[in-house]
Every structure is written in structure tokens, then in C-alpha cells.
Structure 1
Amino acid sequence: MRRPVPQAEVWAPGDFELAEGARWVDGRLVFVDILSGRLLELPAEAPRHARELLRLDMPLGAVAPVAGRPGHWIAAAGTGIALLAPDGKSDWLARPEEHSPVPTRMNDGVCDSRGRFWAGSMPYDGTPGAGSLYRTDVDGSVHRVLDGLTIVNGPAFSPDGSTLYLADSAAGVIYRCALDTEGNLTSRDEFARVGHGGSPDGMTVDTSGRLWVAIWGNGAVHCYDDSGALDATVRLPALQPTSVCLHPAGGRLLVTTARIGLCEPGIAGAVLTVPVDAAAPAACAYGQPPGT
């Protein structure tokens, strides 16, 4: 039986065009406004207005902290993967989408528990099969892990790091992939399919192994159990949720939203909060050795 979930409220107002990549880092919420190239933070207390940490002159899809270097980030930005200093200066590791047959940008990304950064790409015009998934190893090498996808979203990992969840938003499908210790995919299966006019976007896995997914275009967050069954639905007062983050202490789900393309956006572009009985670890850092 699907369990009822309390209603969402505005946690921090905002008019973000395409907020995404919500992560809990060092006691605060960090997220991006993709098309403006901004990295922002919100303190644990609310309501507050977001503070800009840095700004790029290109789309900024997602970031993860760099281990042992406060204020430094690894980022899926523009057409590739870069290390960012606090002033926004970029050290590019690779630009694998620079010469894509169609204009393409990097999108959502996250680190796994072994300190590797995973990020997807997407074509601006929605060309089918033009998106890919990349893995950046701790030595800075960037590898294409999957291709033939379209809008790659929401990399998320099971608590033990052996399972990768990935969405192709254009297809409405969430995949579950098994990984070996080197980060190679050993299998890929359809985990869930989203219908009713919505698309799976950003996601996270809670400490009990349930997958929480922002459903773009349907004003909802879905919670799936580890079999792929829909366990709960959170209804939202904004049509375009983009990413989700569970507070490490439990009790709070945070949701970024977007106002792009909406004639009457209302509160779209704000960060929402919902009281839930779930928690997830804070964001893993790039280069973090296992077990530390």
C-alpha cells in the first residue's frame, strides 16, 4: 500500500530558471541554476535567500565537493568535466562533448562512495540517443560508460555503492545498473517507468535503499522500494521539480524546482521542503578514498 506523505512548503523562495543538483555538503544545501551557470548555497536554517558561491559563463549541470579542499568542486559544466576553484577558475579534465554531432551540454552528476564523479550529458534539441554517461576516476581520467541515451539525469547509488540508478528523462525510464569495484557496468535493467505526462529527473537513495525521484512536468516526487514498486508519492505545488536531497539527520526532503517555459510560474523556482521519514548521507566527495 502506498503511504501518504505530508504536503510540501516553500523552504527558501527564489526565481531560479532551472535549479538542479541539490546536495547536502558541509551542513548546507548546495545546488546549481544550470543555464545561468551559478552555484548556490542555502544554510540549514530557513527561510533564507540563496547565496551565490561562484558563476561560470556556461551551463553548470552539477557539482560535488573535492576531498580535503574546502571551496573546491568537480563540475559537470559546458561540454565537459572541470575542477573549480572558489573564484570559479576552471581546470578542465576533459571536454568529451565538445565535438558532438549535435550541440550538447553536461547535465546532472554525483560522486560515489569511492570518490568517482559520474555525470550525464544531453542534446539541446532532444536528438534521440545523443546523450551519454561519464565516469571521472580519482586520477582525473574521464571515461564514457554508456551512450545511446538522450537526457541523462539523476545518477544515484545504493548504500553499498554496488548499484547505480540512472534516468533517461526523454524515455521516461529509470535504469538500475550493477557495478564492479572498478566502476564498470556489469548489467543494466529497467527499474521503473514513469508515465502520466511526467519524466524522471534528479534522484537520491535513502539509508534504507529506497529511491526518491523528482518527476518533472507532473509536480511530484516518487519514492520506489528496491523492487521498483512505487511506495509513496509526494505532491508538490510546482509543476517542474528537478532534484531531491534528503537531510542526513532525517525528517526533511528538499526539492529544487524550475520556472523555465512556464507562462504562470507561481512559486516555481523556489526550493521546497517536505517532512518525511527518511534520511540519506551527505554528498560524497571527489577523490575521497574508500572507508574514510
Structure 2
Amino acid sequence: MRISVLCDVKPLLGEGPVWDVRAERLWFIDSLGRRIYRCTADGAEMRAWTVPHAIGSMALRDGGGAIVALQDGFHAIDFETGELTHLVDPEPDKPNNRLNDGKVDARGRFLCGSMDTGESDPTGALWRLDPDMSLHRLDDGIICSNGPCWSPDAATLYFADSFTGEISTYDYDIATGAVADRRTFAVLPKDRGGAPDGATVDAEGYVWSACVFDGRIHRFAPDGSVDRVIEMPVCKITSLNFGGPNLETLFVTSMAEPPLPKYPGDGPQRGATFRVEGLGVTGRPEPYFAG
């Protein structure tokens, strides 16, 4: 196994790596720096776009462009022009909330959770944006939404409320996008003050979770047991996604500055996007939003 720096643009809060299998490009965001980045698998051909508000996640669209989850709701972005089109704000009555982590299901729906920006109050919710741009609330009472991803058969949704320290599962109806029976899947160790952040599922159905403030990546078996632990060069890792031509490289984002002052800073590699190679595992292609 080899861990190296892919690129080091020093995002305040690097997040949401997504590998575009068609264009063979990695996308990731700076949530608090309000930027979207794109590069090749070796970190070359870097491009960036600026958005007007904090960005929690993005979903590449099947027809081009993306849906971005911003402070004031969901927007469509045209990468050719940089133009944003506001679609819907799911929580206009909650000014202290913002949209956070999200991913696309196998039918092209965008699941995205919200969070309390102070990361203390359970005012967040889990939302589903359908290809017809209709919006549906799936769950609520969440402090900090993170890590939505699915089992290979799409029957199980994994999801974390970071500050519970737990990854949960729901039964997921891929035909309708409905969820049911939320239950605990795994509890991350708290010996170093970490919390479950971004996550992905590999081709074998194992869940990879970035433990933010802890610096460890955990690979969980489908039964919730720990299969592997990887120590990263920085503590504040945030999210991860498999990519590269054969989906064999694990790309890992991190933050340059902690959003909460109680957490210490990392060293000179803080904020870097890393690549982890030689894992002997492959990922699965990320679906495109169908709208």
C-alpha cells in the first residue's frame, strides 16, 4: 500500500471526492472556501469553479453539469459558463442549517443531508432530490449528515450522523427511494476523538469510512465488523472515493482549517487530497443524477 499527495490546493474544508468514470476526472470541493475542483487521476489539469455560498456536496448530471448542494439549497451548475440556477431550498426556515454530504443512488436520485452549522443541535434532515426536481424528506433529528452510500444491490443505505459516532443503515427501496428501519451498523472508536465522515462502498460490498479528527480509515464488512484500518498522514480526513482508470485508487480529502476551534491543526500536509494505492480492492462507478 502507498499513500501519496495527489494535489495540495489547501481547501479550508476539502470534501466530496467523486470520480467521473466517463471523463476520467476527479472532482472534489472546498466546502467553506466555496470552490469546486477537477483534476486527472495524477493531479494534473487542475481547474476550479467558485460558488457563492458554502457547498456541501455535488452530483454530476447525466446530461452534463452538476447539481450542487449550497447553503441556500440545491442549484444546477453549468461548468462551461459557471452559471448557477437555483432549484429549491429545502429548509428556508432554518438559517443556521446548510446542506452537507450527498450521493446519487442507482436510479439517479440525489440523497443529501443537512446539518446544524454549529454542529450541536439536531435540526438537520436527510433529503432526496428526484430527477423531476421534486424534493422528499426521508429522516430528521440529525446534527451533521454524512456518508450516504449504498450496498451493491442498492437494498441498504448507509448513513452517519457524525456526532453520534455511529454509522446507521436503512432498508432502501430502490424502486421508490423510500427508507425504513434505521438501525446501527457500526460504532467508530472514540479513543482519539474522531467521528464518521464521508464513506463509500467497494465492489465487494465493504464500507469505507473516513474518521475525521482521528486520521484513520475503517473498512467495515457487511456485518459491521472492522476488516481493515488505514492510518493517514493527517488527522482531519473528511471523505473518500475510489477512482482511476480501473477504480483501484482510493482518493481521500482533508481540511486545512478545522471548522470548530476545539480541534488542533495538522502539519504541512493539512488540506491535501491524497491517493491510496495498492489496496487490492476496487470501487464501483458513481451514478449520475438523472435529471
TM over 0.5: yes
Q: Cα–Cα, structure 1 residues 278 and 209, in superposed 2: closer, same or farther, change >3 Å?
A: same
**In 2, Cα distance between equivalents of 1:122 and 1:130:** 7
What does residue 255 of structure 2 align with? 258
Q: How many residues align?
A: 278
What does residue 167 of structure 2 align with? 174
SS of structure 1 residue aligned to 2:163: helix
**In 2, Cα distance between equivalents of 1:264 and 1:229:** 29
1:183 to 177, 185, 209: 177
What does residue 244 of structure 1 align with? 240
Which stretch of the first structure deviates more once superposed, 20-29 or 264-273?
A: 264-273
Is 1:39 aligned to 2:36, yes or no?
Answer: yes
Is 1:17 aligned to 2:12, yes or no?
Answer: yes
TM-score after normalising by structure 1: 0.91
Stretches of structure 2 lacking an aligned partner (at least 5 in a row)? 259-263
Q: Deviations over 1:43-67 (max 9, x none)?
A: 0224x37420x21110111111111
Q: Cα–Cα, structure 1 residues 49 and 268, in superposed 2: closer, same or farther, change >3 Å?
A: farther
Question: What displacement does 1:38 show?
Answer: 0.7
What does residue 163 of structure 1 align with? 156
Q: Which amino acid aligns with 1:170?
A: F
1:83 to 53, 69, 76: 76
Is 1:104 aligned to 2:97, yes or no?
Answer: yes
Question: What displacement does 1:90 show?
Answer: 2.2
Is 1:279 aligned to 2:276, yes or no?
Answer: no
Question: What displacement does 1:265 show?
Answer: 3.4
**In 2, Cα distance between equivalents of 1:170 and 1:83:** 30
Question: What displacement does 1:263 show?
Answer: 4.0
Is 1:232 aligned to 2:228, yes or no?
Answer: yes
Question: What displacement does 1:128 show?
Answer: 2.6
Stretches of structure 1 lacking an aligned partner (at least 5 in a row)? 1-5
Q: Cα–Cα, structure 1 residues 277 and 250, in superposed 2: closer, same or farther, change >3 Å?
A: farther
What does residue 107 of structure 2 align with? 114
**In 1, Cα distance between equivalents of 2:45 and 2:5:** 12
What does residue 55 of structure 1 align with? 50
Contact 2:6 2:42 in 1 (8 A): no
Q: Cα–Cα, structure 1 residues 238 and 263, in superposed 2: closer, same or farther, change >3 Å?
A: closer
Contact 1:13 1:49 in 2 (8 A): no
SS of structure 2 residue aligned to 1:191: strand
Question: What displacement does 1:134 show?
Answer: 0.4
TM-score after normalising by structure 2: 0.91
SS of structure 1 residue aligned to 2:32: helix
Contact 2:57 2:102 in 1 (8 A): yes
